[in-house]
Amino acid sequence: MTYRLVLTGRAIPGCSNEAIQLRLMEQMKLSAAQAQRLLPPAARLLKQGLDRATAETLCKRFEAAGLETRIEASEPAAPAAPADPMQALQTLATTGLEASQPSRSYVAYVLLVTLCCLLIPALYAGLVIALGLSLGWYLSHVHLYLDGYGAWLKLCAYVIPAVSGGVVLLFLARPLFAWKASVEPELVLDLNTEPRLRQVVEQLCQAMGLQPPVAVQLSAQVNASVHFADGWRGFRSGDKVLTIGMPLVAGLTVQQFVGVLAHEFGHFAQRLGMRSSYLINHVNAWLEVRGHTRDAWDDRLEEWLERDLWFPLPVGLRLGLFGIEASRRLMRAGFWLSFRLSRSLSRQMEFDADRYEALISGSGVFRQTSLRLRTLSHAWQEVDQKNGSIWRERRLLRNTPEATALMAARLDEEVLQTIERSLEEYATRYWDTHPADLERIHHAEALNAAGHVHETGAAASLFVRFADHCERVTLAYYANLGLDHQGAQLQDSQTLLKTNEQR
């Protein structure tokens, strides 16, 4: 039996962070930066693979410095879990994961938040209808109050309200009509060509009590997601689409990658919450776009105001612009209200999805996965910048996911320490829709789940044509950016990164 020493994130009563840092530097000969990383509320695995005596000795040394630690028995090595993820998932698909039924209070909370968010556009539609009826009533009855006044005043009383009210009504009513946003071309993966991945996805969904996705799409981003297929049609039918970021596959292990998939499918396991989230996100997106985005009509109205128009028209147009700005402020206020109502629900859904990830890949690997995702995101940005710098020479990377994994392996120790500190120092802010990574790590580790998939080989081993898919998403990414990559010289990842290092 081996043991591991874990830093709890709490100080011994009566010890300040300054005193702890000083003792760590004096007694344990740590540098200031190393000691700073161990100060509360940092919680982490300090050492593993220890015998009992060594673990107790280290525990006493850290407690003498003022840090609270605990000794845990390491999870037994592999015989309990088969190395092949297919065997583990096949067994799990037969037995199924333990379902977690939401409480009545949680269901009531979800329904209440969804109803409140849906009321905001409903009230907005009521405002538009009331304004239209009021404008119609005014134009049809104002003549009753203008007897005895001059023709000029009567004309202004009709033209100015008609122009300003009509402009405001037009801008207020336009958001109520459906619009189709531009959608990037989808890069669909035929699962029949990837039997191992298909088996992982199907057995994972079966273990979680879900229907497999109707389609799998590939992306060049360091991300994965599951969403309803075909929008509202998928909302009604429950059909879903899985999107896999190929840099994730290039940089994660099988255990980490399957855990990420479990997290994404975990959102759909919350059936009521997922549908509520879909409605709320649509409301929030609609309010945000309509509250912050200018369109061609804004420029058109300003252009008309610069012309030499008949006197009542500029007055009406200026009043109309004032009304448009007021309506946009109203939309922004509605967005922040809806966002405020839904943020805690969004955080809870992330914790619920994290539970599935911990159950599948184990609580012990959750921190490693979170840190690896941050590292890959940093590496992807570095690769994207280097790729952009050589575009002036008409050269581009052939395989950005591969380059991302290579860049992550080449990051120096200082950068890696900075990324790890960001993981532990960032706290959940008031308006965040996702909990801070450190809170999610603590939540996953508190489950103390042994996990079912423990394969530490590269996630790319789940793909037969991994390199081909990486090149496809790379070229599709260039096409979405509008780059004429057909005439560019595509470079090998190793060659390009080496050239940039020499420069």
The confidence score (pLDDT) of residue 82 equals: 43
**SS (HEC) of 206-260:** HHHCCCCCCEEEEECCCCEEEEECCCHHHHHHCCEEEEEEHHHHHHCEHHHHHHH
For residue range 217-241, list pLDDT tens digits in order. Answer: 999 999 999 888 887 888 888 889 9
Distance CA 124, CA 46 (A): 55
User: Is the pLDDT at 259 greater than 80, yes or no?
Assistant: yes
User: Is the pLDDT at 432 greater than 60, yes or no?
Assistant: yes
The confidence score (pLDDT) of residue 244 equals: 95
User: Is the pLDDT at 404 greater than 90, yes or no?
Assistant: yes
**Other Cβ atoms closer than 10 A to 183:** 6
Top-confidence range, 30-34, 171-175, 464-468: 464-468
% helix, strand, coil for the chain, step of 5: 65, 10, 25
For residue range 325-338, list pLDDT tens digits in order. Answer: 777 788 888 888 88
Q: What domains appear along the chain, each with residue ranges and CATH number?
A: 3-74 (3.30.1390.10), 83-503 (no CATH)
Q: Supply 9's token pair.
A: 């994130």
Residue with tokens 């949680």: 106
Q: Supply 411's token pair.
A: 């990051």
Q: Which residue has the higher pLDDT, 333 or 152?
A: 333
Specify the pTM.
Answer: 0.71
The confidence score (pLDDT) of residue 79 equals: 43
Q: Smallest Cα–Cα separation from 186: which of 472, 398, 467?
A: 472
The confidence score (pLDDT) of residue 183 equals: 53
Average pLDDT, integer, range 363-368: 91
Torsions phi, psi for 218 (to 5 deg): -110, 150
